[in-house]
Amino acid sequence: MIELSVTGLLGIVWLAIVIWAIIRTAESTAGPLSKFLWILILLFFPCLGLLIWLLLGPSRRYDYPLGG
């Protein structure tokens, strides 16, 4: 049986990346339902979800004041 396991330093790095993606999603300009669904995908399917999020996830746009 093949067991896929991420442990140690690599696991901590992966967890940090997924948490970063969740925070970026929560701060995005996407609608509440879209944010909720993306966060669920990232939580329940962290490997595949992160790859899909990187390709198709909500963008983050800023409205800068004049002169900024």
pTM of the model as a whole: 0.69
Question: Mean pLDDT throughout 50-66?
Answer: 70
Q: What is the DSSP letter of 28?
A: S
**Residue 51 near residue 19 (C-beta atoms within 8 A):** no
- Tell me the pLDDT tens digit for each residue of 4-36: 565 777 888 888 888 999 999 898 888 899 899
Residue 14 belongs to what H/E stretch? helix 8-27
How much is the average pLDDT of 32-44? 90
Side-chain-side CA neighbours of 65 within 13 Å: the count stands at 0
Segments making up each domain of the chain, as ranges: 12-56
Burial class for 51, CB neighbours closer than 10 Å (0-12, 13-18, 19+): exposed
Say what percent of the chain tops pLDDT 70: 75
Which pLDDT does position 50 carry in this prediction?
85
